[in-house]
Structure formats: structure tokens, C-alpha cells
Structure 1
Amino acid sequence: MAIDKKYIGKQWPTMVYEVGKEKVKEFAKAIKSTNPYFLDDEFAAQSKYKAIVAPPTFAVVFGAKLIEPIFFDNELNLNLAMLVHGEQEFEFYNVVKSGDVLYSDAKIVNIENKEKLDVIAIEIMTKNQEKKDVCKGIYTFVVRK
């Protein structure tokens, strides 16, 4: 069954994420970064950011928390056994620092119905505690019929 295009524009409740210094450091180590902005407290404190900075790809940590509620939304009724990750892209606006409180909102921005599959695109927009845009992520998923 095709995903109904009436769900384009559907939104989910805001997700709040507090950026912890240790989480940023763990993530930086996991991606094999040696960047002192991500790992060195003293260096970061002396930088223009005054705190540990998250790598740009840390956006998947706070952004992906909104994907699960979408996957299990009863209205959408996605067939998870047939769903695969297609692609994702990000636009970055402001640096994420340890201590930031991030507010992310998700909405469906596109649904394409094709003969053997559906494509669903989800936009996640994140702002910080100062209401400044941090990043926009577009997550695209393919659901085979």
C-alpha cells in the first residue's frame, strides 16, 4: 500500500536534547577525530567558543531521536521490514557546544509514490536555547512495496 501524500506536512512534537561534554567527546573518539575543539577542555575554553564543540556529524545524535516516533506512527503505518535508509543531508547554521539545549522539530516534506516503492523525506530543524538555527537535516527513506 502506498504512503498517502496527505501526510506531507505532518509534524511531530519537539524533541529536547541537552548536549553533554562527555557525549561529544565519545562521539569524536568514535569517528577517530583528534580535533582539540572536540576533545580538549583547556583548548576549547580558550577558543572563541569557550566550550567543547560538537563535530558537525554529531547532528545525527540529536536529529535521529525524532526518527523513531515517525517510524512507529500508527497513521503512517510504515512497513519497517521493507524500509531502508536512502540518504541524508545537512545544512549547518551555528556551532553546537557542550551545554547547549537543542530543540528539534520533524515534519514530512515529501512523499513520492513509485511503481515498486515509496520515498519519504523527513526534515528535522534544530534550534538552540537562544532560538538560533543550528542545523537542518533531510532524512530520506525508501519503502519497497
Structure 2
Amino acid sequence: MSVNPELVGRSFPPTPPYLVGREKVREFARAVFATDPQHDDPAAAQALGFADVVAPPTFAMVVQDLTLQQLLAEPDSGIALEQTVHAEQRFHYSRPIVAGDELVGELRVTRVRPFGKGAMVTSETEITDAAGAHVVTASSVLLIGGEVA
């Protein structure tokens, strides 16, 4: 089965709220070697004007992953996880993610481009806070391999 071109324009329901925890931010910061004190020390983050520790920019991927799981589970997508490579990632922030934020993501498929026997699937996830305010748009491109004969 090839990637369904009718995915373009498809939107998915909002994810359940994700509560950003201080320890999750700290763990993520260690994993990506983000050593600035604002990622680990609440006092350092507060000195910069934030309520709690600040997540590294790529932390948005944690919420975006919840939306990508919806796409991968779509029965008619034609996307097989075992043939998928995460090829590109971008973030456009309105403000940083901070421990204590409650975030919701909504994914929309923006492009399906045939590529050899497979396709490149581009999507955007709008991530908002509990008040509905934009926090970050996470854009990704998945490279989906084609069927092997």
C-alpha cells in the first residue's frame, strides 16, 4: 500500500492535555545536552522571568509525537512505521515551554510528495497552552519507503 495522497489537508483531533513536569524537562535537557541552568534550576529560570524551568526548544517533539501517533494509526494512511524515517524537523515558537504548562497538540497534514517508490509526508502540529494561546508550531517531514517487491 502506498501513502494515501488524500491525507493532505486532513486534521486530527486535539491530543489530551500534556502536563509539562519539571523532572521531564530536566531529563530531556540532560538527554540533549542542554546544560544552561534555566533547564534545570527553577531559581535560574525565575531570574530570567519564567515561572519554572524552561524546556529546551526540541522538547516540543514530546507533544508532537502524540499527534504523529494519530497519523501513524490512521488505517488508510498507507504509512508503515517500519518504513518511516523522520527526515526533517522545525519549530516556530511564540514563547518557550515551561514546567507547569498544560499543552495540547493538533496535527494537520500539509503535503504528500511522491518520492521514488515512497513519499515524503509533511505535517504541522499547532501546540497551544491551557488558555488556548499558541506556544509552538512543530513541522516535520516523514520519509516513507515504498513497498519492496
- What is the TM-score when the length of structure 1 is the normalising length? 0.90
- Does 2:125 match 1:124? yes
Which residue is equivalent to 1:60? 61
| Contact 2:102 2:130 (C-alpha < 8 Å) held by counterparts | yes
Give structure 1 regions of 4+ aligned residues with deviation exceeding 6 angstroms: none
**Whole-Å Cα distance in 1 between the matches of residues 80 and 35 of structure 2?**
40
**Whole-Å Cα distance in 2 between the matches of residues 6 and 139 of structure 1?**
18
Structure 2 counterpart SS, 1:96: coil
Structure 2 counterpart SS, 1:123: strand
Which residue is equivalent to 1:45? 46
Q: For each residue in 1:44-71, what CA deviation from the matched residue of structure 2 results, as whole angstroms up to 9, or x when unmatched?
A: 2333113211111111112112112211
- What is the TM-score when the length of structure 2 is the normalising length? 0.88
Structure 2 alignment gaps of length 5 or more: none
**Whole-Å Cα distance in 2 between the matches of residues 5 and 28 of structure 1?**
37
- Does 2:16 match 1:13? no
| Contact 1:102 1:129 (C-alpha < 8 Å) held by counterparts | yes
Structure 1 alignment gaps of length 5 or more: none
CA-based RMSD: 1.6
Among all aligned residue pairs of Structure 1 and Structure 2, give the percentage whose two residues are the same amino acid.
26
**Whole-Å Cα distance in 2 between the matches of residues 53 and 62 of structure 1?**
15
Which residue is equivalent to 2:104? 103
Q: What is the aligned length? A: 145
| Contact 1:2 1:113 (C-alpha < 8 Å) held by counterparts | no
**Whole-Å Cα distance in 2 between the matches of residues 80 and 21 of structure 1?**
31
Deviates more, 1:67-76 or 1:43-52: 43-52
Offset of residue 144 of structure 1: 2.0
Which residue is equivalent to 1:3? 3
Amino acid at match of 1:38: H
Which residue is equivalent to 1:135? 136
5 Å-filtered alignment, 1:25-44, equals 25-44=26-45
Offset of residue 34 of structure 1: 2.2
